[in-house]
Amino acid sequence: MKKMFAMLLALVMSLSLLTACGGSASDSDVEYVKDKGTLVVGITDFAPMDYKNDNGEWIGFDADMAKAFAESLGVKVEFIEITWSQKAVELETKAIDVVWNGMTITDEVKGLMGVSNAYCKNAQVVVTTADAGSDLKALSFAAEDGSAGAAALDAEGIAYTAVLDQSTALMEVASGSVDACVIDLLMAGAMIGEGTSYPNLVIAEELAGEEYGVGFRKGSDLIENFNAFYKAAYEDGSVMACAETYGIAKNIIAQ
Amino acid sequence: MSFWTVTTILADGFINTGKLFFLTLLGALPLGLLVCLASMSKWSPLAKLADSTSSKAMQWIAGFRPISAVMKFIVWIVRGSPLMIQILIVYYGPGLLFGLPLLPRFTAALLTFIINYACYFSEIYRGGIQSIPKGQYEAGEVLGMTSRQIFFKVTLLQLIKRIVPPMGNEFITLVKDTALVRVIAVYELIWMGESFIKKGMMWPLFYCAVFYLAATAILTFALDRFEKKLSYFN
């Protein structure tokens, strides 16, 4: 019994020692990422920013820029699909190093993480079936829980069903369980209309303009590093070239 | 996207589901027995403080069994709180509370499942052990067997036979509980099924149910066979 107690005590003590070490690690996020040799990028499946090609590789405007950024740091890039509502926790616990997924810059986001300069413009749009009326107050809505679209609906004082993500919101409209949903213009451009999965859906109205930024840990020195990288990439034309590839050149913000 | 492509992508997720299932059983079955024995521990360090002439309060203190009490408390916490929250705590908790590096996602999920299922299993084991008539223990003692010998040579085989049906229930629940690990982005079957919603397809998610049905069918069949094999007394 005494032996077991001693072992337990040793375990507790070594655990508390570990805790103490955690705090005293180097403060530089850049050094942390370089030491680790990988930049872990938190994303969701969100065309045209981050999505998989037929070989199962992550591509898209954000994904390609993330690869270039990792290369500029001299590290490998690793994409991890996260649950979007957990993005701040994932950053803080170092499960990921950066949130790079067409993230709308809001006051809430700025409170939770360090955000880069805005790099892309977007809008929240109302998507409905072609034959739905134009009176928003008469329609029933769906929107991604905690998204910019949901915030836009809140601002208009319109009630909505909160769903898991933007694609589920579209699915709700297509299945007829709601009349309309509010999603990103970028996503709407890629997912509705002729030649897509939802040929019968249309954009009825634009609700709110917004800007995208890349999220880092609060106070991280990666933010400065990223802003400098992005400015240089904009000036040498590689940002616009990448934007052309994914059809979002009109949305890019000059650096 | 063709039916075949969807099937291969879902099968990828199903491999993770299967890995989680088997590794959980591998860890939780023995750990559950340990938890069970600990919660049945009769060790009471204060027993000498009281005898039959002491006051009621003193007798209560003397009867206190610390190992058993701590174990029962842990089992209450684990069985009483949602598994999904436990997964989130085990994965994010060390980083949020102590700034420690996180476990890999799959490892954190597996660890949570082993602990959670060990607690459920321990109660099934306890039910099995306590269902063996006391007379058998007494008979064993009369024959000069140690309690260890009685457990392994007399109790254990009967025990296994009695716990197979309730264990089978837990196994089948476990197959479907694995879907919870997607909250920490472990890419199991349901995660893969849901990813098709983004491409405008709902049917792959429904199709996932077929995989679970197939898995439980195999499991039910195997448990049935196992039970028949054990029915040598009747």
Of B96, B98, B185, the CB nearest to A92: B96
Question: Can you tell me the mean pLDDT for A117-143?
Answer: 90
Q: How many Å apart are CA A141 and CA A148, to the nearest integer?
A: 14
Least confident span in B10-24, B65-79, B152-166: B152-166
- Eight-state DSSP code of residue B181: G
A95 to chain B, any CB pair closer than 8 A? The answer is yes
Please count the CA atoms within 13 angstroms of the CA of A248 that sit on its side-chain side: 28
Between A23 and A233, the more confident residue is A233
Bridge-based pairing state of the strands A141-144 and A58-59? unpaired
Q: How many CB pairs under 8 A join A and B?
A: 61
Q: Domain residue spans in chain B?
A: 3-42+56-230
**Backbone phi, psi, residue B27, to 5°:** -85, -40
pLDDT at B62: 86
- Cβ separation of A83 and B100 shorter than 8 Å? no
Instruction: Nearest chain B residue to A175 by CA: give it.
Output: B202
Look at residue A67 and tell me whether its pLDDT is greater than 90. Answer: yes
In single-letter form, the type of residue at position B144 comes to G
Give me the residues paired with residue A129 across strands: A201
- Cβ separation of A93 and B200 shorter than 8 Å? no
A82 to chain B, any CB pair closer than 8 A? The answer is yes
Question: Can you tell me the mean pLDDT for B205-224?
Answer: 96
CA B207 to chain centre: 28
In single-letter form, the type of residue at position A50 comes to D
Which pair of structure tokens corresponds to residue A94? 């170092």
Between A180 and A168, the more confident residue is A180
Look at residue A16 and tell me whether its pLDDT is greater than 70. Answer: no
- Cβ separation of B200 and A171 shorter than 8 Å? yes
> Measuring CA to CA, which residue among A206, A207, A190, A211 is closest to residue A254?
A211
Mean pLDDT across chain B: 92
Mean pLDDT across chain A: 87
| Count of residues in chain B | 234
| Identical topology for domains A27-120+211-251 and A122-210 | yes
In single-letter form, the type of residue at position A103 comes to M
Compute CA distances A201 → A124, A130, A195, B196, whole Å: 15, 6, 11, 19
Question: Can you tell me the mean pLDDT for A101-115?
Answer: 93
Look at residue A20 and tell me whether its pLDDT is greater than 50. Answer: no
Q: Are B91 and B107 in contact (CB under 8 A)?
A: no
pLDDT at B84: 95
Which pair of structure tokens corresponds to residue B65? 């069994």
- Cβ separation of A197 and B183 shorter than 8 Å? no
A6 pLDDT tier (thresholds 50, 70, 90): low
Could you please state the CATH topology (level 3) that the domain comprising A27-120+211-251 is classified under: D-Maltodextrin-Binding Protein; domain 2 (3.40.190)
Q: What is the CATH number of domain B3-42+56-230?
A: 1.10.3720.10
Q: How many Å apart are CA B172 and CA B117, to the nearest integer?
A: 12
- Quote the percentage of chain B above a pLDDT of 70: 99
Q: Which residues of B touch A165 (CB under 8 A)?
A: 197-198
Q: How many Å apart are CA A164 and CA A153, to the nearest integer?
A: 16
Q: Domain residue spans in chain A?
A: 27-120+211-251, 122-210
pLDDT at A3: 54
Q: Hunting for tokens 């994914």 — which residue is that?
A: A246
pLDDT at B45: 87
Q: How many Å apart are CA A169 and CA A153, to the nearest integer?
A: 13
Q: How many Å apart are CA A61 and CA B19, to the nearest integer?
A: 34
Q: What is the CATH number of domain A122-210?
A: 3.40.190.10
Measure in Å the smallest separation between the Cα of A31 and chain B Cα atoms: 16
A10 pLDDT tier (thresholds 50, 70, 90): low
pLDDT at A24: 41
Q: How many Å apart are CA B64 and CA B87, to the nearest integer?
A: 33
Instruction: Nearest chain A residue to B100 by CA: give it.
Output: A22
Which pair of structure tokens corresponds to residue B17? 């589901």
Look at residue B43 and tell me whether its pLDDT is greater than 80. Answer: yes
pLDDT at B97: 86
Q: Are A211 and A116 in contact (CB under 8 A)?
A: no
Which pair of structure tokens corresponds to residue B135? 């007379």
pLDDT at B234: 61
In single-letter form, the type of residue at position B149 comes to Q
Q: Are A241 and A165 in contact (CB under 8 A)?
A: no
Look at residue B63 and tell me whether its pLDDT is greater than 60. Answer: yes
pLDDT at A7: 54
- Residue in B67, B84, B92, B198 to test binding to A, most A beta-carbons within 10 Å: B198
pLDDT at A64: 96
Complex ipTM: 0.70
The count of other CB atoms within 10 Å of the CB of residue A76 is 13
Measure in Å the smallest separation between the Cα of B210 and chain A Cα atoms: 22
Please state the pTM of the whole predicted model.
Answer: 0.79
- Cβ separation of B92 and A83 shorter than 8 Å? no
Look at residue B214 and tell me whether its pLDDT is greater than 80. Answer: yes
B128 pLDDT tier (thresholds 50, 70, 90): very high
Question: Can you tell me the mean pLDDT for B37-61?
Answer: 86
A127 Ramachandran zone, left/alpha/beta (phi>0; psi -120 to 50): beta
pLDDT at A17: 47
Look at residue A23 and tell me whether its pLDDT is greater than 50. Answer: no
A101 to chain B, any CB pair closer than 8 A? The answer is no
Contacts of B183 (CB under 8 A, 6+ apart): A83, A86, B84, B87, B88
Measure in Å the smallest separation between the Cα of B229 and chain A Cα atoms: 41
- Quote the percentage of chain B above a pLDDT of 90: 71
Burial of A53 from C-beta contacts in 10 A (0-12 / 13-18 / 19+): exposed
Measure in Å the smallest separation between the Cα of B135 and chain A Cα atoms: 31
- Eight-state DSSP code of residue B215: H
Q: How many Å apart are CA A185 and CA A122, to the nearest integer?
A: 6
The count of other CB atoms within 10 Å of the CB of residue B112 is 24
- Cβ separation of A93 and B195 shorter than 8 Å? no
Give me the residues paired with residue A124 across strands: A184, A208
Q: How many Å apart are CA A40 and CA A92, to the nearest integer?
A: 13
Between A222 and A196, the more confident residue is A222
In single-letter form, the type of residue at position B159 comes to L
Residue by residue, DSSP assigns chain A as -HHHHHHHHHHHHHHHHHHHHHHTS-S-HHHHHHHHTEEEEEE--BTTTBEE-TTS-EESHHHHHHHHHHHHHT-EEEEEE--GGGHHHHHHTTS-SEEEEEEE--HHHHHHSEE----EEEEEEEEEETTS-S-GGGS-EEEETTSHHHHHHHHHT--EEEESSHHHHHHHHHHTSSSEEEEEHHHHHHHBSTTSSBTTEEEEEEEEEEEEEEEE-TT-THHHHHHHHHHHHHHTTHHHHHHHHTT-GGGBPP-
Of A81, A164, A168, the CB nearest to B185: A81
Identify which of A185-199, A233-247, B47-61, B107-121 has the greatest average pLDDT: B107-121
pLDDT at A87: 93
B207 pLDDT tier (thresholds 50, 70, 90): very high
pLDDT at A4: 52
